[in-house]
Amino acid sequence: MIGRLNHVAIAVPDLDAAAAQYRGALGASVGAPQDEPDHGVTVIFIELPNTKIELLYPLGEDSPINGFLQKNPAGGIHHICYEVDDIIAARDHLQETGARVLGNGTPKIGAHGKPVLFLHPKDFNGCLIELEQT
């Protein structure tokens, strides 16, 4: 059901410093910041030959990233995103197997302009999983 790894998301306490580190120290291709108000984050994508890194920074007081950074002040891996061909079929299959979809189960549009869903980390070995329709 899952396809290729789309990205690994890292929550960061300083978005500019993290972007500069990837650009300067690692020589990566770093995109521009983009606000995602529906998800409460500002993101920057780093393009790699085989996947992407997504830097996450809180957008507003209600951002889910605020709580993550309070527990992990230096930042850290927040979630892993896998591609799926049909997000509704994937959601239905996962729910049938007992996996919990976060929110109301209706996909939202993600940072790539495609439908996304998140799966409860307690159902996936402590890892928050994002599914993105290709």
* pLDDT tens digit sequence for 85-130: 999 999 999 999 999 999 999 999 999 999 999 999 999 999 999 9
pTM above 0.85, yes or no: yes
130 among known catalytic residues: yes
What's the pLDDT score for residue 99? 97
Are 53 and 77 in contact, with CB atoms under 8 Å apart?
no
> Tens of pLDDT along 28-71?
999 999 999 999 999 999 999 999 999 999 999 999 999 999 99
Catalytic pick from 54, 83, 130, 132? 130
Structural domains of the chain, with CATH: 5-133 (3.10.180.10)
The answer on pLDDT for 10 being more than 90 is: yes
What's the pLDDT score for residue 80? 98
**String of DSSP letters for 110-128:** -TTSSEEEEE-GGGTTT-E
The answer on pLDDT for 1 being more than 90 is: no
The answer on pLDDT for 81 being more than 90 is: yes
What's the pLDDT score for residue 98? 96
Q: Quote the distance between the C-alpha of residue 83 and its chain's center.
A: 12
